[in-house]
Amino acid sequence: MEQLQFSVYNRGGQLLFQAKGQGEKWDGRVNGQLQEAGIYVWVLSYAQPGTLLKTLLKGTSMLIR
């Protein structure tokens, strides 16, 4: 995958985490502070290798503590 970008938002639409590589992961913290249990929205975009065809995926995840 090329031009990979993964973002996590809270229910208010505030950006909590953004990664631009496959090795980066969100651990449920923002600035070192644990976030509340609840629903978070994620967006993943990337380009197909060789074609640069863009793919955009969206979904929700539940953070459980």
pLDDT in tens, 20-55: 988 899 999 999 999 999 999 999 999 988 887 999
pLDDT tier at 1, thresholds 50, 70, 90: low
Amino acid at 54: K
pTM of the model as a whole: 0.87
How many domains does the chain contain in total?
A: 1
Q: Which domain holds residue 39?
A: 2-63
Report pLDDT for 45: 96
pLDDT tier at 5, thresholds 50, 70, 90: very high
Distance of CA 26 to the CA centre of its chain: 7
CB 9 within 8 A of CB 15: yes
Radius of gyration of the chain (CA): 13
